[in-house]
């Protein structure tokens, strides 16, 4: 629907510009499609907004030929403008295209989408893993607070790891949950097929290493892990 009031259009445009600048400050980079989801706008709208910000010297585009796609990040000027007037400015690393690996781009973009969907569903306090305190035994991809106030560690899983790796991961998270760091762990995967198989994989692991010993897993342990396809996150958990 078109916004008839000119002043309202200006305010809405400013709000969307701020949304993009803050998103790029937190996430380092994004693309038009992912930003369109977080703004609840069309991809063409997001692209035009990025081009306007680029002309103003606030963002810069980086072409990834291997993936046939463009991503955007903040310039030094954009980084400064991303902070509100009167807001305390914290040290943030600027966007460095040369340090962006094509291997990790889709993981980061899907994680941004997961965060946007969680916020739209009423969840709060989404925090990407790189902003979590140092020294964690197991650093999740993100942490978020659910509608019921539970602290959820989020893992965006694009490929399957070895059973030995999952044994260590399950052990680390169960110990973190026992310490009160999280209430449970949510695995978000690319599609429903993978979401249906992940719980079966976890339940096939009967014990995990803890302090040099093997500890048997029970339902109360498995129930601390939930599984979602990215499309259905965070509304429809796959039943175990």
Q: Set out the domains of the chain in order of their start, with CATH numbers.
A: 6-97 (1.10.10.10), 113-229 (3.40.1560)
pTM of the model: 0.89
Which of helix, strand or coil describes residue 60?
Answer: strand
pLDDT bracket for residue 12 (50, 70, 90): low
- Asked if residue 60 lies in contact with residue 95, where contact means CB atoms within 8 angstroms, the answer is yes
pLDDT bracket for residue 43 (50, 70, 90): very high
Quick one: average pLDDT of 5-34? 81
> Tens digits of per-residue pLDDT, 112-144?
999 999 999 999 999 999 888 887 888 999 999
Assess whether pLDDT exceeds 70 at residue 86.
yes
> Tens digits of per-residue pLDDT, 204-220?
999 999 999 999 999 99
The pLDDT assigned to 197 comes to: 96
Query: How far is Cα 16 from Cα 52, in angstroms, rounded to an integer?
Result: 12
Q: Tell me the average pLDDT of the chain.
A: 92
The pLDDT assigned to 238 comes to: 87
The pLDDT assigned to 17 comes to: 93
Query: How far is Cα 64 from Cα 185, in angstroms, rounded to an integer?
Result: 32
Q: Which of 31-35, 87-91, 180-184, 205-209 has the lowest mean pLDDT?
A: 87-91
Query: How far is Cα 123 from Cα 119, in angstroms, rounded to an integer?
Result: 5
pLDDT bracket for residue 5 (50, 70, 90): low
The pLDDT assigned to 3 comes to: 42
Q: Which residues fall within 8 angstroms of residue 158, CB to CB, at 6 or more apart? A: 106, 107, 110, 189, 190
Assess whether pLDDT exceeds 60 at residue 32.
yes
Interstrand relation of 151-156 and 124-128 (parallel, antiparallel or unpaired) = unpaired
Assess whether pLDDT exceeds 70 at residue 10.
no
Query: How far is Cα 224 from Cα 201, in angstroms, rounded to an integer?
Result: 15
The pLDDT assigned to 44 comes to: 97
Q: Which of 27-36, 129-138, 175-184 has the lowest mean pLDDT?
A: 129-138
Measured in whole angstroms, how far is the alpha carbon of residue 97 from the centre of its chain? Answer: 20
The pLDDT assigned to 8 comes to: 55
E strand map for the chain: 59-64, 69-74, 124-128, 142-145, 151-156, 184-189, 207-210, 213-216, 225-229
Q: Which residue has the tokens 């606030």?
A: 58
Please report, rounded to a whole number, the percentage of residues in the chain having pLDDT higher than 70.
94
pLDDT bracket for residue 11 (50, 70, 90): low
């Amino acid at each position: 629907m078109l916004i008839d009031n000119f002043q309202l259009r200006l305010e809405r445009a400013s709000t969307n510009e701020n949304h993009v600048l803050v998103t790029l400050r937190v996430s380092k980079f994004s693309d038009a499609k992912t930003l369109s989801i977080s703004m609840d706008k069309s991809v063409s709208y997001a692209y035009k907004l990025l081009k306007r910000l680029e002309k103003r010297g606030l963002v810069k585009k980086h072409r990834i030929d291997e993936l046939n796609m463009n991503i955007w990040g903040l310039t030094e000027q954009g980084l400064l403008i991303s902070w509100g007037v009167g807001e305390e400015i914290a040290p943030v690393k600027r966007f460095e295209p040369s340090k962006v690996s094509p291997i990790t781009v889709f993981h980061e973009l899907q994680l941004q989408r997961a965060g946007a969907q969680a916020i739209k569903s009423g969840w709060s306090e989404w925090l990407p893993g790189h902003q979590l305190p140092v020294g964690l035994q197991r650093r999740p991809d993100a942490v978020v607070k659910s509608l019921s106030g539970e602290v959820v560690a989020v893992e965006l899983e694009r490929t399957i790891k070895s059973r030995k790796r999952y044994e260590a991961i399950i052990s680390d998270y169960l110990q973190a949950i026992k310490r009160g760091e999280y209430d449970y762990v949510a695995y978000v995967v690319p599609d429903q097929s993978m979401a249906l198989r992940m719980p079966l994989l976890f339940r096939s692991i009967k014990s995990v290493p803890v302090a040099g010993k093997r500890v048997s897993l029970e339902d109360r342990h498995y129930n601390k892990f939930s599984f979602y396809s990215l499309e259905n996150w965070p509304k429809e958990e796959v039943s175990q």
